[in-house]
Amino acid sequence: MTSRARPRCEVHVDLDAIRHNVCLARELAGAAEVMAVVKADGYGHGAAPVARAALAAGATCLGVAYLEEGRRLRESVPHAPVVVLTDPLPGEEDDAVAHALTVTVSTADTVRRVAAAAHRADRQATVHLKIDTGLHRLGAPARDAGRLAVLAREHGLAVEGVWTHFALADDPRDPFVDTQLDRFHRAVDELRALGVRPRYRHAAGSAATAARPAARLDLVRLGALLYGIRPGPAVPHLDGLRPALAWYGRVVAVRRADRGESLGYGLKYRLDADTTLAVVGAGFADGLPRLLGNRGHLLVGGRRRRIAGAVGMSHTVVDCGDDDVAVGDRVVLLGADGDAEVGAEEYAGWSGSSVYEAVTRISPWSPRVYHGGGADGSGAEGRGAAR
């Protein structure tokens, strides 16, 4: 008889929470439609299952960062609109047209390459024009937007959308958001004066969707809120938002240590009392930040317990006091257990990172287990690869 090994770590994803959050966002956005952003493998949740759940809840389209993400996603959602939010690299334009992906264009070179690929395939390509209004990372300068839109039209491209990206996405109350919106509106007015009238104007990600009604326009890009994560401390809490992800580990060893002992790499954690130490089979190779050492907490037996010493590559030690702990016990790395919870915002604060990093850095070799509607196409629980 062969035994089946259990994974040391698992990520559980509640697809009903995804659907619920889309519905919440649709109510919040009013007349604006919703793009479900599933880049970075759905923020570590699994792009394809999340995409299907979001579309079922009324999302209009899907957003990814790179063409390769869109190509992979197309296998699972063959007919849904997929917007690639970065210009395709030279050589990718034929793939974009072949897979009916809507691509971002922000340079004349991109416009010409995509138009040539569409001509070769005897299809019309659909594009979104990105305008840089102050982030200074990607996008066409606002002064060039009209010229680029006319060039796209002259080359036979369907300019479906025009968009921008806020520099202060985690603090949408900052007045620079108004500056960017004003620059964006002036660029869009120029496009309209030239006879280019895109169906979608979009500027708001999750933070601005929650906090800036004026930024919602025709389409909102739902990222963090899709997954039930508050985008930043300056963003108002949304009643009813449901986190979709829980990350579990297991106790792989238990030992007792005496008062006065120090432990871990560098011996930086000193015991004030005789204690039970639980060794958890998860470390920084699994996505647990090293900076959580001596400051972060995990949930063991439904109680918050401090990480003792440095986080190792494959193991992390937790100070469990006098609790009874056994090998094989479940440990919550991120998520809730009864009334106790380690949320993405708190988790990110311990490591000095962001809520986005908290979920996207979880290793792809932790199996994703899906619950709720759409988990396997019939509403039952399903299991899938992380990427």
Annotated catalytic residues are 39, 265
Residue 347, classed as helix, strand or coil, is helix
CA–CA gap between residue 155 and residue 375 (Å, rounded): 42
Render the burial of 15-27: b for 16+ CB within 10 Å, e for the rest.
bbbbbbbbebbbe
CA–CA gap between residue 260 and residue 249 (Å, rounded): 28
CA–CA gap between residue 179 and residue 133 (Å, rounded): 8
CA–CA gap between residue 57 and residue 24 (Å, rounded): 10
CA–CA gap between residue 115 and residue 191 (Å, rounded): 19
Tell me which H or E stretch contains 182.
helix 175-193
The DSSP symbol for 5 reads: P
Tell me which H or E stretch contains 290.
none
Ramachandran area for residue 183 (φ above 0: left; ψ -120 to 50: alpha; else beta): alpha
The number of angstroms, rounded, from the C-alpha of 57 to the middle of its chain's C-alpha atoms is 18
User: 58 vs 22, 36, 53, CA distance in Å?
Assistant: 7, 10, 9
